[in-house]
Amino acid sequence: MLLPALNQARAKGYQISCAGNMKQLGMSAAMYQQANRDIMPAPLSTAGVRWRTLFLPYIEGDSSDLYKEDTAFEYKLQCRTALAEAPAVDRRSYSYVQVDLAQNSTRGFTVNRVKAASATGLYAESRVFPTPDRFGNYISVESTARGVHYPASRHLQGTNVTFVDGHVGWFKCSWLMPGAGGALWPGVTADTWRVPGCDKGLR
């Protein structure tokens, strides 16, 4: 009788831990944009530099000159649920939501142009392979080429999202599904995954 309750408590603990990772990611993003004229990095880079590399100095509080390679990111911010489910696939636990940028964009965006920062997703949990409850247009921490990862329903049939203003929220994955009346999906034809207000953001 106690096993379901214990499993539920453990799952909730993992969700909270993962949300803490995403809060740290949001804080690192805020420090980066403050140091770079309020401009966020491009999801993809034509120079082959991952967006995660640019955040490592803020995550670890050290000089970016020390980072000749950036595999440290994978070990600093990982979702325990992802590692338990599929360690070979989901070690890259988090992804950059492309906001209103063009799909697989190599251009950054100015944060102050996002008019609804508290309702615009910036980072979320990701998974490499799509299933019916994983949709979206994400650039994973691993990407240096044009490719799309998908939001993952890892925690209690839901997912954590870091918003542009830095706060983290949890949402049922049914809210993310296109064509199903999902509150977080503005249209089936949208080529970026967005949350409420993002369509009022970049113009």
Confidence of residue 180 (pLDDT cuts 50, 70, 90): very low
More confident residue, 136 or 84: 84
Paired with 172 in beta bridges are: 158
Question: What's the angle, vertex CA 28, arms to CA 58 and CA 193, rounded to 5?
Answer: 145
* Best CA proximity match to 97, nearest among 153, 19, 43: 43
Sequence spans of domains, the chain: 2-200
Residue 94, pLDDT score:
63
pLDDT reading at 133 higher than 70: no
Joined tokens for residue 98: 């492309």
Closest C-alpha to 136, from 93, 184, 203, 89: 184
- Per-residue pLDDT reduced to its tens digit, 15-74: 788 888 889 888 988 998 888 888 887 766 656 666 777 777 787 766 555 554 555 555
- Answer whether residue 3 shows pLDDT above 60: yes
Interacting residues of 180 by C-beta distance below 8 A, sequence separation 6+: 174
In this predicted model, what pLDDT tens digit does every residue of 90-129 receive, in sequence order? 445 566 655 545 545 667 778 887 777 887 777 777 665 4
pLDDT of residue 112: 80
Judge whether residue 157 has pLDDT over 50: yes
Q: Report whether pLDDT(141) > 50.
A: no
Q: What is the pTM of this model?
A: 0.67
Q: Which range has highest mean pLDDT (134-138, 143-147, 170-174)?
A: 170-174
Per-residue pLDDT band for 82 (boundaries 50, 70, 90) equals: low
The pLDDT value recorded for residue 1 is: 57
Angle between helices 51-60 and 2-34 in degrees, nearest 10 = 100
